[in-house]
């Protein structure tokens, strides 16, 4: 028995309806796939972006806000903490490395981050992809996506809160707030991190302090840059990143700096809370998309039942020509299963395209690179949908199987 010539004829007879069925199923699948894949990609790449930030210390306030502004470089007004803490921490034996993060300036729409070479190299993990890291004041290291070229002069402007700068573009707001007389020379570039830091210009923290008239934190102009800061007055910073030596040390440090006018926390914990919220949102969306898929399947089933009804005579003729009932059952069932299967497959493809499109938007907005991946979770979803669809299409198939031949012939 070979029902495929007839299956093919049936699908051709449906033509646009078949296309509509495939499209509807594809849409249902794509939405489901995109939601799952997008949420996971967001979670993964945001976690990857926070990888080198084990412990954050800042002035008491919102942890989420501090994470957003210091790790994801979303500018915000953050209260400062005493810069002397940097020296204290550097001497602490539980601390492997420590670095400040200071921000507030922009250039060509890129965030300028003041820090030390330690954090620029991500605690020694990274090598520059071009040039070298900064070794003195007035030097700048570019993120992978920054449009400045090595050797170019970078003019900082005061970033205006609530004004969303477009990376790579100088706008009026920026031009009007230029810090006259200050400038950096680009000396190196970082490899791509897939994080907002790809769009940052990293400079010595001393420069950021000086630009704002706070001195450079050192006793003399010739002291060089970086820790320790031996000046009379060490300016404050919005955030301090600590790389602890051990897990136990990390917990002790966090406990210690939770009090006494500072706030200390693991960014990973903040992310877990955010992910939980994100997961809740995803669950709601998944339920919505499942309902959506159920509705679409129901609509498709209704359509197919109607089509099977309209084809009673066609199938009765096959029976009169000698086709067994199983042949008719297979023709109807395979036709529908094929359409639903085609819908599932193209849904995966459309879902991938859709996810990529959304990822592109997210990246444009935040600099977070979202890696698309289809995993067993989505595959299972799609398989389940296909299985349900196939079982459900047995209904019209059985209808045709049981239809009396003569009644069909007389239609």
Which residue ranges make up the site for another protein (CB under 8 A)? 1-6, 8-10, 12-13, 313-314, 317-325, 327, 405-406, 409
Least separation, in Å, of the C-beta of 145 and another protein? 54
Least separation, in Å, of the C-beta of 316 and another protein? 9
Instruction: Name which of 260 and 322 has its Cβ closer to another protein.
Output: 322
- 286 touches 377 (CB < 8 A): no
Instruction: Name which of 6 and 26 has its Cβ closer to another protein.
Output: 6
Picking from 17, 24, 36, the residue whose alpha carbon sits closest to that of residue 354 is 36
Instruction: Name which of 94 and 313 has its Cβ closer to another protein.
Output: 313
Instruction: Name which of 317 and 362 has its Cβ closer to another protein.
Output: 317
Residue 183, burial from CB neighbour count under 10 angstroms (0-12, 13-18, 19+): middle
Give the Cα separation of 162 and 201 in Å (integer): 20
Residue length of the chain: 411
Query: Phi and psi for 187 in degrees, rounded to 5?
Result: -115, -15
Least separation, in Å, of the C-beta of 280 and another protein? 50
Least separation, in Å, of the C-beta of 25 and another protein? 22
Instruction: Name which of 282 and 319 has its Cβ closer to another protein.
Output: 319
Picking from 210, 275, 269, 267, the residue whose alpha carbon sits closest to that of residue 242 is 267
Instruction: Name which of 97 and 316 has its Cβ closer to another protein.
Output: 316
Q: Which residue has the tokens 């006793």?
A: 219
Instruction: Name which of 391 and 409 has its Cβ closer to another protein.
Output: 409
Instruction: Name which of 5 and 260 has its Cβ closer to another protein.
Output: 5
Least separation, in Å, of the C-beta of 321 and another protein? 5
- C-alpha distances out from residue 255 to 50, 249, 263, 399, Å: 21, 10, 9, 70
Instruction: Name which of 59 and 399 has its Cβ closer to another protein.
Output: 399
Instruction: Name which of 9 and 164 has its Cβ closer to another protein.
Output: 9
Give the Cα separation of 21 and 385 in Å (integer): 14
Least separation, in Å, of the C-beta of 344 and another protein? 24
Partners of 115 in the beta sheet? 204
String of b and e for 336-351 (b: at least 16 CB within 10 Å)?
bbbbbbbbbbbbbebb
Compute how many other C-beta atoms are within 10 angstroms of the C-beta atom of residue 177: 15
Least separation, in Å, of the C-beta of 7 and another protein? 10
Least separation, in Å, of the C-beta of 313 and another protein? 7
Partners of 399 in the beta sheet? none
Least separation, in Å, of the C-beta of 6 and another protein? 7
- 393 touches 99 (CB < 8 A): no
Q: Which residue has the tokens 């001393």?
A: 206
Please, where are the H alpha helices in 218-324?
247-256, 267-310, 312-320
Least separation, in Å, of the C-beta of 322 and another protein? 3
Give the Cα separation of 266 and 279 in Å (integer): 20
Query: Phi and psi for 113 in degrees, rounded to 5?
Result: -110, 125
- 142 touches 186 (CB < 8 A): yes
Query: Phi and psi for 27 in degrees, rounded to 5?
Result: -65, -45
Least separation, in Å, of the C-beta of 391 and another protein? 24
Contacts of 33 (CB under 8 A, 6+ apart): 347, 348, 351, 352, 354, 355, 374, 378, 381, 382
Instruction: Name which of 353 and 407 has its Cβ closer to another protein.
Output: 407
């Amino acid at each position: 028995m070979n029902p495929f010539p007839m299956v093919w004829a049936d699908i051709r007879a449906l033509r646009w309806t078949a296309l509509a069925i495939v499209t509807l199923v594809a849409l249902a699948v794509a939405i489901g796939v995109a939601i799952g894949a997008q949420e996971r990609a967001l979670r993964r790449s945001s976690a990857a972006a926070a990888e080198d930030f084990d412990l954050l210390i800042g002035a008491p306030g919102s942890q989420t806000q501090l994470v957003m502004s210091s790790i994801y470089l979303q500018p915000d007004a953050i209260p400062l903490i005493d810069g002397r803490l940097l020296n204290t921490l550097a001497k602490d034996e539980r601390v492997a490395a420590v670095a400040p993060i200071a921000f507030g300036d922009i250039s060509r729409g890129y965030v300028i981050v003041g820090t030390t070479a330690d954090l620029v190299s991500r605690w020694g993990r990274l090598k520059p992809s071009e040039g070298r890291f900064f070794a003195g004041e007035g030097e700048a290291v570019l993120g992978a996506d920054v449009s400045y070229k090595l050797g170019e002069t970078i003019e900082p402007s005061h970033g205006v809160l609530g004004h969303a700068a477009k990376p790579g573009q100088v706008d009026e707001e920026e031009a009007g707030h230029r810090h006259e007389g200050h400038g950096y020379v680009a000396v190196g570039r970082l490899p791509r991190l897939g994080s907002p830091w790809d769009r940052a210009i990293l400079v010595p923290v001393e420069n950021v302090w000086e630009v704002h008239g706070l001195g450079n934190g050192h006793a003399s102009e010739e002291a060089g840059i970086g820790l320790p800061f031996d000046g009379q007055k060490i300016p404050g910073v919005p955030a301090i990143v600590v790389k602890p030596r051990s897990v136990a040390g990390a917990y002790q440090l966090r406990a210690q700096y939770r009090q006494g006018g500072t706030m200390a926390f693991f960014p990973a914990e903040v992310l877990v809370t955010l992910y939980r919220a994100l997961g809740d949102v995803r669950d709601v969306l998944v339920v919505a998309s499942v309902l959506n898929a159920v509705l679409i399947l129901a609509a498709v089933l209704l359509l197919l039942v109607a089509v099977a009804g309209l084809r009673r005579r066609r199938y009765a003729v096959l029976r009169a020509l000698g086709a067994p009932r199983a042949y008719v059952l297979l023709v109807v069932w395979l036709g529908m299963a094929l359409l639903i299967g085609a819908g599932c497959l193209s849904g995966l493809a459309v879902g991938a395209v859709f996810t990529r499109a959304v990822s592109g938007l997210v990246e444009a907005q935040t600099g977070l690179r979202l890696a698309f991946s289809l995993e067993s979770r989505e595959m299972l979803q799609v398989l389940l949908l296909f299985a349900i669809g196939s079982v459900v299409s047995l209904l019209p198939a059985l209808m045709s199987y049981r239809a009396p031949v003569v009644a069909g012939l007389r239609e």
